[in-house]
Amino acid sequence: MKLFHKLRWYFLQEWKKYLGSTILLIFIAILQLIPPKIVGVLIDSIIIKKKYENKLFYWIILIFLISFVIYILRYIWRILLFSAAYKLAIILRVKIYHALSTKNTNFYLQYRTGDLMARSTNDIDKIVFAAGEGVLTLVDAIITSSSVLTMMIVYISWKLTIISLIPMPIMTIILTQHGKKLYNIFQQAQQTFSNLNNHIQESIKNIYMIKNFGLEKYIMKKFKQINKDNTIKNVKVSKIDAKFDPIIYYTITFSNMLAICSGSYFIWNNYLSIGTLTSFIMYLGLMTWPMLAFAWMFNIMERGHAAWNRIQEIIKKDLTIQNSKSFLLLSNNKKLKIQIKEFKYPNTITPVLYNIFINIKFNEVIGLCGPTGSGKSTLLNLIQRNFDISKGDILYNNISIKKINLFHWRKKITYVNQNIFLFSDTISNNIAFGNINATQKNIENVAKLSNIHHDILQFPHGYQTKFGRNGIMLSGGQKQRIAIARALLMKSEILILDNVLSAMDILTQHQILKNILSWGKNKHTIILVTHELHIMKKLNNILIIQKGKITDHGKHNQLIKYNNWYSQLYQQQKKIIKI
C-alpha cells in the first residue's frame, strides 16, 4: 500500500477516470449479487412448492442478461483504468529522462548504461502495472467482498458468515509476511536484471574488440554466470509467488467446509433452507476472487514498490549541476578566464588539477598538450561545466559560468572528441544535427572545410546516403571529419577539438587545420588538443599540462628551444616524420 500512497498525486490528477472505474465496479458488484439470490429462490420454490417450471426459463434469461451487462461494464471499466495507467508511464519516462539529462558526469560514473535502461523501461512497467492492474484488483476486491459480505450477513446469517470467515485473518497475516520477503528479493532480482542488461549492452557495443581479442568464450562464460544469478533471484521470487495461491485456495476450501458443516446444522434446526444455504455457498464462491485478488495485489504492490524506489533513487540522486535561471547578455569582449586553485573528483582525495590560471582572449587559437593522464580532459570538462569547481572558478567576460544559464552556456561551446558518435541517419542529417535550420549549402560548405565533401559525393546517394544500420560504413577518419563539419555548422563562440585529427594523414590534418583557422579568424575561440606537434606550429599559444598543472606555455618555436616535455616529444616525432 506504500506505493499507492506515493502515487496519490497521480490518482488525484486522474481522479475522473479512477472515480468512473469505481462507480462502474459498484454497479458490477451489485449485479453479481443477483444470480445467487435467484438460484436460491428457485431451489426453495422447486423443493417446497413443487412447481416453478413455467418461469424457470425467464429466470435463466435474466441471469444471462445480467452476465452480459457485467461483461460490457467490465470492458468500459478496464478502458478507463488502463488509459490512466498508461498515461502514468509517459509521465514517469519523461521525468526519468529529464533527470538523466540534468545529471553531471559523476552520476554516469556511478551508474552503468544497462542499469539505467532497465530502470527506465522494466521498472517503469512494474509501476504502471501496479497503477493499472493493481488498482483494478484492489478496488474490485474491496467492492466485491464488501457487497458479498453484506448479503451474507444481512440477508442470510451473520453467525454462519462469521464461522465461515474464521480462516481469513490467519491468511492475511501469512500473506503480509510473504509480501515483505517478496519486496526484498524482487529488488535483488531487478538488480541482477540490470546487470544482465548492462552486460549485453556493453558486449554489443564492443563486439569488434571482443572478436579481435578472441574473447568470445570468456564473455560467454561471464554472461552465463550473470544470467545464472538472474535466474536464481527470479526463481526465489517465483517460489514466494507460488506460495500465495495455495494459501488462498486452502483458506477458501476450509471456509467452504465450515460453511457446509455449520449450514447443515442450521438446516437441521430449521434456521436455514437448502436454497438459502446454496445461495450462501455461491456467495462464498464469489469471495474466491477477492481473496485471490488480495494475494495478487500484494505481489503487484511489492514489485511496484521496489521498482518505484529504484526509479526515485535515480530521479532524486543529487548529482545535478545547479542551473542559473538568468540569461545574462554578454558583451563582445568574450574573454575566457580559468582560475582553478584545486580540483578533485567527488569521493576522491587526490587533486587532478591545481594552480591552473589561464587567460584566453576571444578569437585566440590555443593548443593544449601533455602526457596521458595529465588532466587535459578534466580541464575541458570543467570548461563545459560538466563538473563544478569548489576551489576556483571559470569566468567568461568576467562573469562566473555558474551564473550563466547552463543551456545558454553550453550553446556557446561546441566540443568534439575522438569518440565520435553518428546516428543511423543520412550524412546530411548527421552534419546538421546541432543546427536543424541549416540549408544544404551551409552543410556542404562545412563539409568542404572539414575535407569530407569529396568523399560524400562518392557515396551512393551523396549527402542523402544513410550511415549505420542498412547503410554504409565509414572509416575512422571519415567519421572524424563529419564530426568536425557538424561542429563548424554550430558556429559556437568556443570550439574545442580534442584529438579529432588522429585518424587522418598529415596532409589532411594540415588542410583541415588551415580551413578551421580561416573559419575561426576573428570570429571564434578555438582550443585544440593534440599530440601531433607539427599541427601546433600555426597556433597563437600552446599550453603544456603535466601532473595537473601548467608547466610551460608559449609558441611552438619558443617551446622547442628548451629541454622540456614538448621539446623531447617533438624530437621523437621529428625522427619518424619530416616536420
Q: Per-residue confidence at 57, pLDDT binned at 50, 70, 90?
A: confident
Q: Per-residue confidence at 340, pLDDT binned at 50, 70, 90?
A: very high
pLDDT reported for residue 247: 76
Report which listed range, 313-317, 416-420, 484-488, is most confident: 484-488
Q: Per-residue confidence at 5, pLDDT binned at 50, 70, 90?
A: confident
**Whether residue 320 has pLDDT greater than 60:** no
User: Higher pLDDT residue, 102 or 404?
Assistant: 404
How many whole angstroms separate alpha carbon 571 and alpha carbon 467? 40
Q: Where would I find the H helices in 396-469?
A: 406-411, 427-431, 440-449, 453-457
pLDDT reported for residue 562: 83
pLDDT reported for residue 446: 93
Q: Are strands 549-554 and 541-546 parallel, antiparallel or unpaired?
A: antiparallel
C-alpha cell belonging to residue 564: 622540456
How many whole angstroms separate alpha carbon 232 and alpha carbon 177? 21
Q: Over the Cα atoms of the chain, what is R_g?
A: 36
Q: Per-residue confidence at 15, pLDDT binned at 50, 70, 90?
A: confident
**Span of 45-54, 74-83, 132-141 with lowest mean pLDDT:** 45-54
How many whole angstroms separate alpha carbon 410 and alpha carbon 494? 10
CA angle 285, 274, 271 (to 5 degrees): 105
pLDDT reported for residue 536: 86
pLDDT reported for residue 83: 81
Element (DSSP H or E) covering residue 527? strand 525-529
How many whole angstroms separate alpha carbon 41 and alpha carbon 114? 62
Among 556, 522, 519, residue whose Cα is nearest residue 537:
556
Asked if residues 334 and 94 have their Cβ atoms less than 8 Å apart, the reply is no
pLDDT reported for residue 333: 63
Q: Give the N- to C-terminal CA distance of the chain in Å, as an integer.
A: 73
> Mean pLDDT, to the nearest integer, of 10-19?
84
Q: Per-residue confidence at 440, pLDDT binned at 50, 70, 90?
A: very high
- Burial of residue 227 (CB within 10 Å: 0-12, 13-18, 19+) is middle
pLDDT of 345-384, one tens digit each? 877 888 899 899 999 988 889 999 989 888 898 999 899 8
> Mean pLDDT, to the nearest integer, of 497-509?
87
C-alpha cell belonging to residue 126: 512494474
How many whole angstroms separate alpha carbon 360 and alpha carbon 42? 96
Give percent above pLDDT 70 in the chain.
91
pLDDT of 17-49, one tens digit each? 888 888 888 888 788 778 777 777 777 666 665
Element (DSSP H or E) covering residue 184? helix 167-205
pLDDT reported for residue 51: 54
pLDDT reported for residue 319: 56
> Mean pLDDT, to the nearest integer, of 313-340?
72
3-state helix, strand, coil in the chain (%, to 5): 65, 10, 25
Q: Per-residue confidence at 253, pLDDT binned at 50, 70, 90?
A: confident
pLDDT reported for residue 326: 62
DSSP state of 551: E
pLDDT reported for residue 47: 66
Domains of the chain from N-terminus onward: 2-180+240-315 (1.20.1560.10), 342-576 (3.40.50.300)
HSE (side-chain half, CA atoms, 13 Å) at 134:
23
**Span of 319-323, 364-368, 479-483, 487-491 with lowest mean pLDDT:** 319-323
- Longest CA–CA span in the chain (Å) reads 122
Among 495, 468, 493, 276, residue whose Cα is nearest residue 380:
495
Q: Per-residue confidence at 534, pLDDT binned at 50, 70, 90?
A: confident
Element (DSSP H or E) covering residue 494? strand 494-498
Asked if residues 298 and 365 have their Cβ atoms less than 8 Å apart, the reply is no
pLDDT reported for residue 408: 84
pLDDT reported for residue 52: 52
Q: Where would I find the H helices in 206-318?
A: 207-212, 216-268, 274-286, 288-315
Asked if residues 140 and 288 have their Cβ atoms less than 8 Å apart, the reply is no
Asked if residues 25 and 139 have their Cβ atoms less than 8 Å apart, the reply is yes
To which residue does cell 488498482 refer? 135
Report which listed range, 148-162, 250-264, 517-531, is most confident: 517-531
Q: Per-residue confidence at 330, pLDDT binned at 50, 70, 90?
A: low
Mean pLDDT over each residue of the chain, to the nearest integer: 82
Q: Per-residue confidence at 89, pLDDT binned at 50, 70, 90?
A: confident
How many whole angstroms separate alpha carbon 378 and alpha carbon 105? 11
To which residue does cell 589561464 refer? 358
- Burial of residue 324 (CB within 10 Å: 0-12, 13-18, 19+) is middle
pLDDT reported for residue 327: 55
